[in-house]
Every structure is written in structure tokens, then in C-alpha cells.
Structure 1
């Protein structure tokens, strides 16, 4: 699923950190023009993207031309394929290159041998899984777009692809940063980068236990909306995180077109109807950051809602999926 990122027009006023490492690009694939990137804070990159009007639909590389990208392109091998839902496949990719890294919330350029179109897919696994096992995961919904279509119709175990990390939407706190609370709001497959962030939060809580030093993670609240419970990706994993970190990680699922009975395990956590102002207003505080990912109309509606309930614009970060 190709995607584009749109951000609020501001930057977080925190100390600039060191520039990301730059690695030589593989000769196998064409390079993009050099990008000038300002890195702001441990929490996210914020850029201002102008509106581009064109009669032709832009592809992933064009939409994200102004976003941060690493230079390194790494080979990857498919080591697992499962059906996350009726329309979404979850890929496990083994990556041997030790220089390949990412931050929770980022995406990859997805290069397929023999296919000229480059895919853009948000990573749904944690940075910790890559560090420990050299594994990265993607969850891709079926479309006729060539990269997504290939994943659903031709991809097999041991298929070889190549990946390049990019994106300005991520959560990556450092030990010296002030603690924050997070509210994550997802619509449909927009859960992918937020699930990566949620897994990273779980890792931070796990590292925090029994240690005096390190980053002190605050609470995280996930609001996740889909048409029905069958389209709620990672729901069992999310329930597992809530059980593992009670009070620290919580989730409310919202369904808008549910026709079947909701299973007993999910019932306590499911609300029928859209995410509302009443749901969110209790979380407004000066130390709360808001991360949103979903379809453009959802982003625009929630951005207005958050503004109306007094959330400062510099505390809201979002990524639009197209």
C-alpha cells in the first residue's frame, strides 16, 4: 500500500540531536536526489510539506520526496507469511545488514526485483525485534498497486527484496528526555506505525522495571477504529500488551459497521461508533503527545477536534495514508 505523509506546520522546540548516519546506497537500485534534513528532538521529525496539485496520481517516491530517508538499501529475505485478516498479509523479513536500523513509526521503501514501482509500507514491528533477531515485520492490505499485489499473489518464503528506511513520524525517546504520556489514534491499516510505537513502549516499560536509570515511560492509550472487529489488526497482540502492562498500556477499539456478535474477549474493550471528543478530552494535559495515523478525512476531523479541546498543535503528530 503506497502512502504519503503530511505533517502539521511546526517543529517541536527541543535541542537538535546529532545527524543520522549516512551509508552508501546500493548500486542495484536508482538513488534519489540528496535531501536536506533537520533533526528535531528525540520524538519525531517534523517537516512542512506543500500541497502538490497534479492531474497524475503521484507514486510513493514522489509523495515522500521531502521526507527523511536513510541512504542505505538493504537486502531482505521473506522468512514468514501469515494472514493477519482476510485482506491483510503479515510479512516477516530477515535482514542481515547490521547497519539497517529504524525508529518506531517509520516506513520502508520496498523494492521488488522485476517490478519498477517502489512500494511504501509502515513497519509494524518494534526496533527491539530487529536488534535482537534481525527481523522486521510489515502488514500489507491487498490492492491492485503492483507492490501490494505482488505481496498477496507472488511473494513466497525465501523471496528476496530490498528495503530502505524513511519517514518523519516516530517515537524515539532518549534516557535524558522528560517523561511523556502518549495517546495513539489509528484508523484501519493506519494501525501499523502505531503498533510499532506501542511495541516500543512495551519494550521501554520492560527495560524500566528494576532499573534506576533510563527513560521513564508514561502511560499509553490506544484508540483504534475499524469497520468491524474482523478488520482490527493485531487485536490479540494488543490485548496481550494490556495484560502484560496493566494501567500502563490501555486500548479502546471502535467499530463503525459491526453486523456480527462481538466475541467475549473483545467485548469489554469495544465501543460501537466513531472516536469522539468525549473519549479524548480526559487525556488533555501538558505532558501528553498525540500520534494519529489513518485516512486523510479522519486525520482532518481529529485534528480539528483536538484543537477544539485545547490540545497544543505542537503536541500532535500525524501521518496520512492514501
Structure 2
């Protein structure tokens, strides 16, 4: 997960497999909460043991966090790619909320290291169903090992929201275009922003008021199409809002044939500064999340092209 370096802000449908297989579990879990003392013990024990500078808590020590530490229960898991697993978490505590793009401190009973994972779902899903979604790449970091090897339905954890990288426009704010630039699992907070933007557009279309979102363009790079996370969700939004949402998907090490469904959106090779530069305007905000070299390159190129610093938002992950 990432450390915040520089900052500035659908009602997605729960997948059918999740509704059919775990609906009963989630319904029963609405009334479930870890006790306050258990949550406090879990959090303090993890904080005291997380002393290495490479740990998430150390890297983000100066980053703003909410006070609420909420119990969460695993309601479903999905293999998003050969190396990435997503978690569907029920968070019954109504004091728990987040802004699109933020992450959570992830406390696991029996694991002394605290994880840090970006939320990839929309705030609307939490408001309507008390659910959040995380997608975690396998590494030898203890929280990631637990998620991939030990996490199961009904596993109990605790979460706390943090981060200054988010998109949270107010109804009276001026319309903005968004350019989202993602590398690898850096798609997670940007997918949350994309989903939130779709929610805002739906709300305005249905009610005739609310924030007026501009256009959204997603640039997303991964090694190959199997590592392009949530590609079906992304294309569904592109097809739902063809005049509002566009995407360009890049693969740098593709060795197999690209499917007909994906081919119109795929470019082989790396995304370039020129492609991003073509989207610069005074009404555009840029959100970048990916490996540090990629994030550094595009943020510096945007500055060189006279994009105001307050219009460039980025988060680095390792």
C-alpha cells in the first residue's frame, strides 16, 4: 500500500455471485460488532509492534486519519487476477465512512503488522449496503499473506480510514474533468473515484440536481490483460456512460492473444506523456497512483506543462 506524498477528492451493484452466496451471512452480520475493548486492544497491540520504517503505520504517520476504528467481517473474496484477491467487507458501524480514493489501516487479530489498503468501491455502496471492497496483491508482507492464505468467510478484522488523496466534490462546486492515471494495483483508489463519479452522474440524471461531473478518462497500465484488474467493471461504466467515461488500457508484456472484447481499448506498450498532455485543460484534475517512477514521471511532466500543482494529486505505493 502506499504512502501519501502529495494531495489536493455507482451505486455499484454487488456481483451476483456475492449476493447469492453470502447474502445470508451479511444480513446476520449487520448486528455484529467487536467490543470496544477488543478493538482498542487490537489496534494498540498492532501499533506497538509495527516499528519498522517500512511498515504502513510508520510511512503514513503524518497522514490524516479518522478516529473511528470499526469492526469488519469478510462477506466474500474473489480472485481478481493470478496475484490479486479482492475482499468484500461488511462494516456495520454507521460512524464509519470514507471519501473516494482513501485507504484503510487494516488490523488483523493474531497478526502484529498493520496493513494499509486502498478502498476500491464507491462510498455509495457503504451508504446503501454497509459494504466496502479492497483488492490486495500477494506479497510476503504479513497482512497480504493472511488475506491470500488464511482469510475466509466470517473472518473478523478492524479498519480505520485515512488518506488525503480523494475526490469529494460538493453540489455547488464547479464542474471538473478527471484524468485518472493508474499502474498495476494503483487502480484501486482510482476505481473508487471512477465509481463515485458514475454515482454522481446517475444522481444528477435522476434528480436533476447535485454535482455536475465533467468527462472522466482512465489511463491504466499493467503487465498483461490478466493483470488488468476490474476490467469488466471499467468497461461496463464506459458502455453505460459513453459520453462521460473513456478508458485506455495498456499492456507492457503481453504474450497471449488479446480478446475481441478488450482489443478496442488495449494499447501495447507504455502510456506516454503526449497522450496525457492532450487532456490538459484548466477544468481538469489529474489523479495518479502507481509505482513511484511512474508517479514521479507523470506528475513532473504535468507540472512542466503548466498544470497547477493543486490540480495534480498523487499517491505512491510500494
TM-score (norm 2): 0.86
Q: How far apart are residue 27 of structure 1 and its match? A: 2.3
Name the residue aligned to 1:18: none
Name the residue aligned to 2:4: 5
SS of corresponding position for 2:81: coil
Name the residue aligned to 2:28: none
Q: Are 2:141 and 1:142 equivalent residues in the alignment?
A: no
| Whole-angstrom CA distance in 2 between matches of 1:258 and 1:171 | 32
Q: How far apart are residue 311 of structure 1 and its match? A: 1.7
- CA deviation map 1:221-244 (0-9, x unaligned): 000011111100000000000011
- CA deviation map 1:209-268 (0-9, x unaligned): 043321111110000011111100000000000011112011000111111111100101
Question: Tell me, which stretches of 5 or more residues in structure 2 are unaligned?
Answer: 10-35, 46-51
SS of corresponding position for 1:117: coil
Question: Tell me, which stretches of 5 or more residues in structure 1 are unaligned?
Answer: 13-23, 33-55
Q: Are 2:41 and 1:28 equivalent residues in the alignment?
A: yes
Name the residue aligned to 1:101: 97
Name the residue aligned to 1:278: 274
Map 1:271-310 → 2, pairs under 5 A: 271-310=267-306
SS of corresponding position for 1:320: strand
Q: How far apart are residue 29 of structure 1 and its match? A: 3.2
Among 78, 81, 97, which residue is 1:82 paired with? Answer: 78
- CA deviation map 1:255-293 (0-9, x unaligned): 111111111001010111111122112211101000000
Q: How far apart are residue 57 of structure 1 and its match? A: 4.2
| Whole-angstrom CA distance in 2 between matches of 1:177 and 1:108 | 27
| Whole-angstrom CA distance in 2 between matches of 1:82 and 1:30 | 27
Q: Is the 1:81–1:89 Cα contact (8 Å) retained in structure 2?
A: yes
| Whole-angstrom CA distance in 2 between matches of 1:105 and 1:314 | 16
Q: How far apart are residue 160 of structure 1 and its match? A: 0.4
| Whole-angstrom CA distance in 1 between matches of 2:78 and 2:296 | 33
Name the residue aligned to 1:52: none
Q: Is the 2:2–2:315 Cα contact (8 Å) retained in structure 1?
A: no
Q: How far apart are residue 154 of structure 1 and its match? A: 0.4
| Whole-angstrom CA distance in 2 between matches of 1:3 and 1:306 | 21
| Whole-angstrom CA distance in 1 between matches of 2:306 and 2:260 | 36
| Whole-angstrom CA distance in 2 between matches of 1:98 and 1:301 | 40
| Whole-angstrom CA distance in 1 between matches of 2:206 and 2:104 | 34
| Whole-angstrom CA distance in 2 between matches of 1:5 and 1:268 | 34
| Whole-angstrom CA distance in 1 between matches of 2:303 and 2:2 | 25
Q: Is the 1:284–1:310 Cα contact (8 Å) retained in structure 2?
A: no
Q: Are 2:171 and 1:175 equivalent residues in the alignment?
A: yes
- CA deviation map 1:31-84 (0-9, x unaligned): 59xxxxxxxxxxxxxxxxxxxxxxx64210010011110111000100001100
SS of corresponding position for 2:107: strand
Map 1:156-171 → 2, pairs under 5 A: 156-171=152-167
TM-score (norm 1): 0.85
- CA deviation map 1:109-138 (0-9, x unaligned): 000001110000000100000000001000
| Whole-angstrom CA distance in 1 between matches of 2:43 and 2:261 | 48
